[in-house]
Amino acid sequence: MTDCIFCAIVAGQSPASVVLDEPDVLAFMDIRPFTPGHLLVIPKRHASGLAQLDPEDGAKVFAAGQRIATAMRASELPIEGVNMFLADGVAAGQEVFHVHLHLVPRTAGDGFGIRAHWQTPNRTVLDGTAATIRTAVESHRS
Ligand code: 5GP
Ligand code: ZN
pLDDT averaged over consecutive 10-residue blocks of the chain (142 residues)? Answer: 92 98 98 97 98 98 98 96 98 98 97 94 98 96 68
Q: Which residues approach ligand 1 with their CB closer than 6 A?
A: 5, 16, 28-32, 87, 93-96
DSSP string, 35-93: STT-EEEEESS--SSGGGS-HHHHHHHHHHHHHHHHHHHHSSS--SEEEEE---SGGGT
pLDDT of 142 reads: 61
Strand pairing partners for 41?
A: 27, 101
Classified by CATH at the fold level, domain 5-114 comes out as: HIT family, subunit A (3.30.428)
Mutate to test the pocket of ligand 1, among 1, 2, 32, 86 (most ligand atoms within 8 A of CB): 32
Picking from 99, 89, 87, the residue whose alpha carbon sits closest to that of residue 48 is 99
C-alpha 141 – ligand 1 centre gap (Å): 30
Residues catalogued as catalytic? 100
The pTM score is: 0.96
Nearest atom, ligand 1, residue 86 CA: 4
pLDDT of 125 reads: 98
